[in-house]
Amino acid sequence: MNASNPQTEIVRIAGVTKRFPGVLALDRINVAFAAGEVHAVIGENGAGKSTLMNILAGDLQPNDGQIFIDGAPSVIATPLVSRAHGITVVYQELALCPTLSIAENIMMPDMAARSVATFVPRDQMRREARAALARLGMDHLDPDTKVGRLSVAEAQLVEIARAIRQKARLLVLDEPNSALSTRESEKLFEIVRQLRADGVAVIYVSHHLDEVLDLADRITVMRDGRTIETMINDNVSQDRLIRAMVGRDLGSARPWTLQQNSAAHPVVLTVDDLTAPGLDQVNFTVRAGEILGIGGLPDSGKDRLGDVLFGLIPRSGKVTIDGKELPAAAPSASIRYGMAYVPADRRGAGALLTMSVADNVVSAALKNFSVSGFLRRAQIKREARAQVARLDARISHLGQKLATLSGGNQQKIILGRSLVTNPRLLVLHEPTRGIDVGAKAEIYQILRQIAGEGVAIIMISSEMPELVMNAERVLVMRSGRLSEELRGADVNEEAILARAMAS
């Protein structure tokens, strides 16, 4: 299905580099997008796909390198400049205004292009919005409905309808169908093919390899901020794509011997038929001293598992710790039964950033550190000092505000906080997100040590190397369900990725 006729290049990205503090997000990227092609961009989480799309959208500026549009060197300084070049981006996280109607959202770019001192052509807006919706087979939606009342899938379709209306020359679809049903996705693909026939360059960013192989003319694989290769979609297999995405020396992937045979240890957590929004009859167990890895794509349901287990999201099914059943939707009870939870969103949900190291360490077990409501400062200091030493957190003093610590040290303090309650089970969601390589290794070391003390650990992570390196067993989630487990030598990135993307 590759389009073989000579194509005109619309955008060429040459040697583009983007640095964030402490991270090299894009490293000398080279890729070109041509008129009349569907160009898929794939890669693991953190490969740099979204950063690249944000640069095309004019939201981010590269530190180095050059972008050519229609062969001429260009600077995409703002979103407006991007659109003036005919580039339209459908964002993964929706860019819609919930208080405005569908029609008003779809027509917003048109309104921005008109003079401020004009009247709003309500009837025309409604008519054009209805036409845009009809193209996507969404005739049943009333253009006057407020976008805030729509489901995620409907909002995603509205965003796509808005993008298609703008007659882009280069259309970026960043995970456009993460919330869409099969039927809605089919409609979207049909339109993508139509746009290709009309000579539009479509960049299609997706985790779903089957879709990519079905739709794309060319596929560019990104890894660790680099473009690894661009291939023509001609007899390419999923395995080949996965190998290109993973691309590491697989022999050294499991550097530590999983010494213990935790099958002999008692079961700590049993999950029976756990069902919640995004999770469908999940069953698994974790034993004392074991690190269980849970992987999967962003929309697989794995990102809800931690919240559901801890009781932040209502659930049905049975969750027991040491044989005692946990009440649903009660985080405080979960703590009492021996669970500790470290959520992914460290700055939002995990840490008290404006408070001191010592206060953070004891915040989950204040009762143990107070008498008649008065805090026992000396005892708090002692405990905090012990945890800081145990976790080797680098701080200047115990009164230091958490916000002034590096991400790695913050995460260590949060780990310390969960250990103060002497948990039987530690649930970690993205335990090393945004943490530099050195601190990552230290945190892995600490986690193994905690497991060695008999704590059961669940590590929910998008970073496959992390799962391969640390987990004794790995369960992969897809569409809210768990695959059969990977164990021992079967735990490798290709196997995880293949299960995560299986169709």
Partner 1 sequence: MTDTVRTGARAPAMDRFSLPGLLRARETGVFLALVVLCLFLTFATDGFLTSVNLLNVGRQISLLGIMAVGMTFVLISGEVDLSVGSNYALSGLATGMLIIAGWGLVPALCVGLVTGMTIGLINGVLSTYGRLPSLIATLGMLSVVRGSALILTNGQPVTVNVRNGADPGVLEIFSFIGQGYLFGIVPMQLVFFILIAALAWVVLSCTNFGFRVFAVGGSAKAARVSGISINSVKIWAFVLMGALAAFAGILSLAFLPSGQAGRTGLGLELDVIAATIVGGASLSGGEGTILGTILGVLIIGVMRNGLVLMGVNPFVQELMIGLVIIIAVGIDKWSTRRRA
CA dist 210 and 360 (Å) reads 45
Of 60, 69, 132, 150, the one binding partner 1 (CB under 8 A) is: 150
In DSSP terms, which residues pair with 474 in a beta bridge? 293, 486
CA dist 465 and 224 (Å) reads 12
- Considering the complex, what minimum distance in angstroms separates the CB of residue 105 from partner 1? 7
CA dist 10 and 14 (Å) reads 13
Q: Which is nearer to partner 1, 185 or 320 (CB)?
A: 185
The residue count of the chain comes to 503
CA dist 35 and 38 (Å) reads 9
Q: Is 252 in the site for partner 1 (CB under 8 A)?
A: no
CA dist 457 and 470 (Å) reads 10
Which span sits near partner 1 by CB under 8 A: 179-187, 372-380, 456-464, 468-476? 179-187
Task: Give the SS3 label for residue 142.
Answer: coil
Q: Which is nearer to partner 1, 301 or 306 (CB)?
A: 301
Of 299, 322, 485, 494, the one binding partner 1 (CB under 8 A) is: 299
Spell out the alpha helix ranges (H) of 142-266. Answer: 152-165, 182-197, 209-215, 238-246
Which span sits near partner 1 by CB under 8 A: 44-52, 88-96, 335-343, 449-457? 88-96
Q: Is 113 in the site for partner 1 (CB under 8 A)?
A: yes
Q: Is 333 in the site for partner 1 (CB under 8 A)?
A: no
192, amino acid identity: V
List binders of partner 1 among 192-251 (CB under 8 A).
208, 210-211
Which span sits near partner 1 by CB under 8 A: 177-185, 258-266, 373-381, 448-456? 177-185
Q: Which is nearer to partner 1, 98 or 327 (CB)?
A: 98
CA dist 500 and 492 (Å) reads 12
Q: Is 144 in the site for partner 1 (CB under 8 A)?
A: yes
Q: Is 123 in the site for partner 1 (CB under 8 A)?
A: no
- Considering the complex, what minimum distance in angstroms separates the CB of residue 232 from partner 1? 23
Q: CB–CB of 288/266 below 8 Å?
A: yes
Q: Is 120 in the site for partner 1 (CB under 8 A)?
A: yes
Nearest by Cα to 152 from 175, 135, 171, 132: 175
Q: Which helix (H) or strand (E) holds 158?
A: helix 152-165
- Considering the complex, what minimum distance in angstroms separates the CB of residue 186 from partner 1? 8
Q: Is 275 in the site for partner 1 (CB under 8 A)?
A: no
Question: If 0-12 CB within 10 Å is exposed, 13-18 middle and 19+ buried, where does residue 119 land?
Answer: exposed
Q: Is 72 in the site for partner 1 (CB under 8 A)?
A: no
CA dist 64 and 226 (Å) reads 14
- Considering the complex, what minimum distance in angstroms separates the CB of residue 399 from partner 1? 28
Of 1, 77, 134, 152, the one binding partner 1 (CB under 8 A) is: 152
Phi, psi of 450, deg, nearest 5: -65, -45
Q: Is 119 in the site for partner 1 (CB under 8 A)?
A: yes
Of 14, 23, 100, 231, the one binding partner 1 (CB under 8 A) is: 100
Q: CB–CB of 300/482 below 8 Å?
A: no
Q: Is 498 in the site for partner 1 (CB under 8 A)?
A: no
Binding mask 28-67 for partner 1 (x = CB under 8 A): -----------------------------x-x--------
- Considering the complex, what minimum distance in angstroms separates the CB of residue 242 from partner 1? 16
Q: Is 108 in the site for partner 1 (CB under 8 A)?
A: yes
Q: CB–CB of 299/45 below 8 Å?
A: no
Q: CB–CB of 451/420 below 8 Å?
A: no
- Considering the complex, what minimum distance in angstroms separates the CB of residue 307 from partner 1? 13
CA dist 57 and 80 (Å) reads 9
Nearest by Cα to 460 from 256, 284, 296, 273: 296
Sign of CA dihedral 396, 400, 406, 412: positive
- Considering the complex, what minimum distance in angstroms separates the CB of residue 119 from partner 1? 5
Q: Which is nearer to partner 1, 115 or 259 (CB)?
A: 115
Q: Which helix (H) or strand (E) holds 334?
A: helix 331-336
Q: Which is nearer to partner 1, 106 or 195 (CB)?
A: 106
Contact residues for partner 1 (CB under 8 A)?
57, 59, 79-80, 83, 89, 91, 95-100, 104-105, 108-109, 111-120, 140-142, 144-145, 148-155, 177-182, 185-186, 208, 210-211, 277-278, 299, 301, 478-480, 503
